[in-house]
Amino acid sequence: MDRLDLHLHTTYSDGSQPPAEVLAMAHKVHVSALAITDHDTVDGLPEAITAGTDLGIEVIPGVEISSRLADTELHVLGYFLDWKDPVLLSRLASLRASRHRRNPRIVEKLNELGLGITYEEVKALAGTDSVGRPHIARVLMEKGYVKSAKEAFDRYLAQGARAYVPRELPDPPEAIAWIREARGIPVLAHPVWLKASAAGLQGLCATLQGHGLRGVEVHYSTHNPQQTSEYLNIARQLDLLITGGSDYHGITKPGIEVGVGRGGLKVPSALLEPLRKAAATQ
Ligand code: AMP
Ligand code: ZN
Ligand code: FE
Ligand code: FE
């Protein structure tokens, strides 16, 4: 019973496991093709492709770019992009640089709250240039300031929490354009995060479609069956591509596993060919 997983993070961004381990886990649950969608980087792809060749798993080049929509974040996934494109690479580098401007300010706020961590420690734990709040959460866990990543986000790191600092982000049309200009397929990630009504979400998708959006992540670890069918409806009404994935991060999102999410995720293999065709013909 083959399945896909088109949303996976590795140690090249804020996932806790390296690409080869993610691929090995995918192999165990019969994933036939997957996409590595690290935040603001494609640097994990060579390792993933090598592991995929060994295991007989197709690795689709991907990325996840956060954008700013009013006072919330909207994440855009990009698939089948030309991941060696120099313009894309310099745009991703600029996004990573914005992380390095924000993160020390978060650490400063944590210090003011009496939590003794340094940005050097965060960068050392991250071991990558795409440093995110989950890395800060892990340092807080390791130092015993919190028991879980959830506690770190709830108390300190989530939007509105005491050590929150926003990051400079592109707007959604810009994020979409960056993916399109690298000949990739832009897809709205985890629509559940937007907390929009069905009508509101459909309107937003239609607007973003006007800016080049091509798909919606209908299947997702934390979508319930009703949400999944609502998002499926929207995708069908607007003739958007349907994708899905676990958003596996390892230890910062406990209980979410590669390929199966919380256990009930099943991304049908049949979704891959329309995506591939769209990428080949755009
Ligand atoms: P950043 O990209 O550094 O702003 O961090 C945002 C990332 O943190 C998201 O993409 C998620 O992967 C992760 N995240 C957000 N909220 C939580 C949470 N409550 N628990 C664990 N991880 C989270
Ligand atoms: Zn993440
Ligand atoms: Fe996301
Ligand atoms: Fe993600």
**pLDDT tens column, 113-156:** 999 999 999 999 999 999 999 999 999 999 999 999 999 999 99
Q: What is the pLDDT averaged over residues 29-49?
A: 98
Q: State residue 48's pLDDT score.
A: 98
Q: Tell me how far the alpha carbon of residue 216 lies from the centroid of ligand 2, in angstroms.
A: 18
Q: Is 163 domain-assigned?
A: no
Q: Is 167 domain-assigned?
A: no
For the chain, the average pLDDT equals: 98
> Same structural domain for residues 79 and 183?
yes
Q: State residue 216's pLDDT score.
A: 98
**Domain membership of residue 105 as a residue range:** 92-157
Instruction: Determine what percent of the chain is predicted with pLDDT higher than 90.
Output: 99
216 CB near ligand 1 (under 6 Å)? no
Q: Tell me how far the alpha carbon of residue 98 lies from the centroid of ligand 1, in angstroms.
A: 16
Q: Is 38 domain-assigned?
A: yes
Q: State residue 26's pLDDT score.
A: 98
Q: State residue 282's pLDDT score.
A: 84
Which atom of ligand 1 is least distant from the CA of 135?
A: 3
150 CB near ligand 1 (under 6 Å)? yes
- The sign of the CA dihedral 22, 73, 65, 172 is positive
State yes or no: pLDDT of 1 exceeds 90: no
> Same structural domain for residues 26 and 146?
no
At 37, which CATH number?
3.20.20.140
**DSSP notation for 242-261:** EEEE--B-GGGSTT-BTTTB
Q: Tell me how far the alpha carbon of residue 222 lies from the centroid of ligand 2, in angstroms.
A: 15
Which atom of ligand 1 is least distant from the CA of 252?
A: 21
Q: Which residues contact 213 (CB under 8 A, 6 or more apart)?
A: 76, 176, 186, 187, 188, 205, 240
Tell me the Ramachandran region of residue 222: left when phi exceeds 0, alpha when psi lies from -120 to 50, beta otherwise. alpha
pLDDT digits (tens, 9 = 90+) for 50-109: 999 999 999 999 999 999 999 999 999 999 999 999 999 999 999 999 999 999 999 999
3 state DSSP class of 159 = coil
Phi, psi at 95, each rounded to 5°: -70, -40
Q: Tell me how far the alpha carbon of residue 82 lies from the centroid of ligand 4, in angstroms.
A: 20
3 state DSSP class of 14 = coil
Q: Tell me how far the alpha carbon of residue 15 lies from the centroid of ligand 2, in angstroms.
A: 7
For atom 20 of ligand 1, the residue with the nearest CA is 150
For atom 11 of ligand 1, the residue with the nearest CA is 134
Which atom of ligand 1 is least distant from the CA of 154?
A: 19
Q: Is 262 domain-assigned?
A: yes
CB under 5 Å of ion ligand 2: residues: 14
> Same structural domain for residues 190 and 230?
yes
> Same structural domain for residues 55 and 107?
no
Q: What is the pLDDT averaged over residues 229-254?
A: 97
Nearest ligand atom owner, CA of 247: 4
Q: Is the pTM of this model over 0.95?
A: yes
Tell me if 130 sits within 8 A of 9, measured CB to CB. Answer: no
Q: State residue 228's pLDDT score.
A: 98
Q: Is 164 domain-assigned?
A: no
Q: State residue 77's pLDDT score.
A: 99
User: Number of folded domains in the chain?
Assistant: 2
